[in-house]
Amino acid sequence: MARFGQVLVVALCLTIAVFPDTTTAQLRNDFYKNSCPNVEEIVKKVVKDKVKQTFVTIPATLRLFFHDCFVNGCDASVLIQSTPNNKAEKDHPDNVSLAGDGFDVVIKAKKALDAIPSCRNKVSCADILTLATRDVVVEAKGPWYPVELGRFDAAHTVGFAHCSKVFNRIYNFNRTHSVDPTLNKDYAKQLQDACPKKVDPRIAINIDPETPKTFDNIYFKNLQQGKGLFTSDQVLFTDGRSRPTVNAWAKDNAAFNRAFVKAMTKLGRVGVKTSRNGNIRRDCGAFN
């Protein structure tokens, strides 16, 4: 499972329990049945074409969905561009590393939908991002799952990694160890080769060294071998509270897929906007 930002996937599956297991009445699978019945096929085609251009589309879209939903809910607020009078959410320090391909796939899907008269300005950018997220998971041979639709966009503002994120762990961990002792020695050498001391810190590296282009449970098997890229990854195995979950998902890929689908569905229900406090944006990057 590569460049998926596995730490985000794991965070979804391990911490999604903080959100209540409820749904919103307006969300349903056939929300666009009458207004834009082919919405899913249209978005899927755009995603397929974009993934053919660059695989980065997959982790970029998944991470974009995560960042959008965990800040005031799934309302496409992260897509808004900054203006001279307003610094947008996407330019917050926590979001500046979001890859442009995630934004691009939403913009292209919006354009494709608006090219169809019956669909023009009918599908929210939030729903487009939610559908695209499911579709990139499928493109990476992950599980297909039904997507609840009917979100409105925010009407006001509110996996891969870079070498800079692992330098301390592989060169200057602490006063006693230059390399994090919990890191697999062979994997540490692999990371040092990929990120030499004088390399551009913006260079991207795979989070999953084994199956970097497949959505699977190898990430958890890597943790069992001390191959977690970040300390925050590896602690999921070294901490006795989360180790049983890591072991269970390392053993059973189907169990991980079920947990992932449940987590994504619950996350997609967070902070859903209605027509009273949201709208359908004409441009995903700007308020109406």
Tell me the one-letter amino acid at 62.
Answer: L
| Alpha carbons 104 and 74: distance in angstroms, whole number | 18
| Alpha carbons 140 and 1: distance in angstroms, whole number | 8
Establish whether 89 is an annotated binding residue. Answer: yes
Establish whether 127 is an annotated binding residue. Answer: no
Are 260 and 9 spatial neighbours (Cβ–Cβ below 8 Å)?
yes
Establish whether 274 is an annotated binding residue. Answer: no
Which member of 67, 92, 162, 177 is catalytic? 67
Q: Which fold has domain 6-158+256-274?
A: Peroxidase; domain 1 (1.10.520)
pLDDT at 121: 94
pLDDT at 251: 94
Establish whether 71 is an annotated binding residue. Answer: yes
What SS3 class is residue 263? Answer: helix
Establish whether 193 is an annotated binding residue. Answer: no
Q: What is the CA radius of gyration of the chain?
A: 20
Establish whether 75 is an annotated binding residue. Answer: yes
Q: Which two tokens stand for residue 113?
A: 């939908």
Establish whether 252 is an annotated binding residue. Answer: no
Report residues of the chain scoring pLDDT below 70: 1-25, 84-97, 155-161, 201-213
Residue with tokens 């691009």: 104
Beta strands in 32-155 (DSSP E): 153-154
Class for domain 161-254, per CATH?
mainly alpha
Equal CATH topology for 6-158+256-274 and 161-254: no
Q: Which two tokens stand for residue 70?
A: 């965990």
pLDDT at 131: 98
Tell me the one-letter amino acid at 110.
Answer: K
Of 119, 135, 129, 108, nearest in space to 33 by CA = 119
pLDDT at 97: 60
pLDDT at 33: 95
List the chain domain ranges.
6-158+256-274, 161-254
Q: What's the pTM value of the predicted model, to 2 decimals?
A: 0.75
Contacts of 120 (CB under 8 A, 6+ apart): 113, 114
| Alpha carbons 78 and 88: distance in angstroms, whole number | 8
Q: Is 162 a catalytic residue?
A: no
